[in-house]
Amino acid sequence: MRTGAAVGHSGYFHEAAFFGSDDELLDLVVPFVTGGIEAGEPTMVALDDRSADVVRTALGDATGVTYLPHASQYARPALAIKRYRQMLERHVAAGAGQIRAVGSVPHPGLGAPWEAWARYEAAVHRALADLPLWGMCPYDTRTAPEEVLADVERLHPHLATTKGDHVVNERFADAQIVVARRASSVSDPLEALPPAVELDDPAPAAARRAVRDLGRRSGLRTETVDDLVIAVSEAVANALAHGRPPVALRAWAAPDRLVVAVRDRGRGPTDPLVGLMPVPERIRGGLGLWIAHQVCSDVGLVVDDEGFTVRLTARDPAGAPAHAGPAAAAGTDDVVAPG
């Protein structure tokens, strides 16, 4: 059974909210959470650490709330979708009629690039569409940049106000797809530099070898490089199977990241959200990009006059001990020289 603003709604009730002070945050979140507790609904809070502290202090020892660590829940877009989906399915299986979740979607004000999370906001709407979730995404107008706030308005079908109103968002439309497509096209500055690796029409095995070798010369952890190797293998296999030749692989290494661009001359997948959506049948198409989104810290899908490019970025997870590779030892911002 649906309760609160989502009464009568079927599937995901996806709502944005804006606040400009701690009091306004509480005006949004406290009734949302206490309403969930009173209705006996699974209620999850995945706010950034600062906001979570404010809410926790206000709610005291209220039972029936699950606080999810923000850093791991929002480690990367595809993982966040996967984790939410798994949690929600468990609750539905246990008989929940509605689940409530309030979460801070990362943006530059919280130290994350917006492009990937704009795609997330567009994708999560569809990826969780069938689940009885009331999800609230509060954005702090003090820290979120203007362009983020403008996108957020277009990415949510419902809006919550600090006065307690819940309204249909007239500005939500297929604009979410426009945002997702634009967000995907932002390039990495490394791409303007000469690549360290350049391969024409590589077989997946050759691509894996080249990226593994470049990874060894970088300062990144072996696990991070291995993950990138998986993603590169999938991207190259996809380009060979579904793209138009020739296929070009270029790779760059900086002390904090490896970037690999795999380009073919085709138009790429029609859906800009591909790879972020759950894959119902694991053997069907789209799984390669889904895997890439799971294992890379960022995936860009760029369609331009040159064709279709998958840009894969690998970074060590925050807080991971650095691997004593040559680039890390150098301790500079120099890119690994082409070679």
Q: Which residues bind other proteins (CB under 8 A)?
A: 204-205, 208, 222-223, 226-227, 229-230, 233-234, 237, 282-283, 287-288, 291, 294-295
Does residue 224 contact residue 218 with C-beta atoms inside 8 Å?
A: no
Q: In angstroms, what is the minimal distance from the CB of 231 to other proteins?
A: 10
Q: In angstroms, what is the minimal distance from the CB of 206 to other proteins?
A: 12
Q: In angstroms, what is the minimal distance from the CB of 268 to other proteins?
A: 20
Give the residue with the Cβ less far from other proteins, 7 or 205. Answer: 205
User: Which of 40, 33, 336, 91 lies closest to 197, judged by CA?
Assistant: 336
Give the residue with the Cβ less far from other proteins, 223 or 256. Answer: 223
Pairing between β-strand 257-264 and β-strand 197-200 as defined by DSSP bridges = unpaired
Q: Is the peptide bond before 246 cis (omega within 30 degrees of 0)?
A: yes
Q: In angstroms, what is the minimal distance from the CB of 233 to other proteins?
A: 6
Give the residue with the Cβ less far from other proteins, 73 or 233. Answer: 233
Q: What is the dihedral of CA 335, 223, 214, 319, to 10 degrees?
A: 10
Cα dist from 175 to 95, 118, 134, 243, 329, whole Å: 34, 12, 22, 27, 46
CA separation for the pair 116, 119 (Å, rounded):
5
Does residue 281 contact residue 231 with C-beta atoms inside 8 Å?
A: no
In 3-state terms, what secondary structure has residue 40? Answer: coil
Q: In angstroms, what is the minimal distance from the CB of 77 to other proteins?
A: 15
Give the residue with the Cβ less far from other proteins, 96 or 235. Answer: 235
User: Which of 305, 229, 216 lies closest to 260, judged by CA?
Assistant: 229
Give the residue with the Cβ less far from other proteins, 295 or 335. Answer: 295
Give CA 235 to chain center in angstroms. Answer: 18
Give the residue with the Cβ less far from other proteins, 226 or 256. Answer: 226
Q: In angstroms, what is the minimal distance from the CB of 89 to other proteins?
A: 12
Give the residue with the Cβ less far from other proteins, 173 or 205. Answer: 205
Q: In angstroms, what is the minimal distance from the CB of 313 to other proteins?
A: 17
From the DSSP assignment, how many helices (H) and strands (E) are in the chain? Answer: 11, 12
CA separation for the pair 225, 211 (Å, rounded):
8
Q: In angstroms, what is the minimal distance from the CB of 205 to other proteins?
A: 7
User: Which of 271, 253, 258, 255 lies closest to 232, judged by CA?
Assistant: 258
Phi, psi of 295 (to 5 degrees): -100, -15
Give the residue with the Cβ less far from other proteins, 79 or 186. Answer: 79
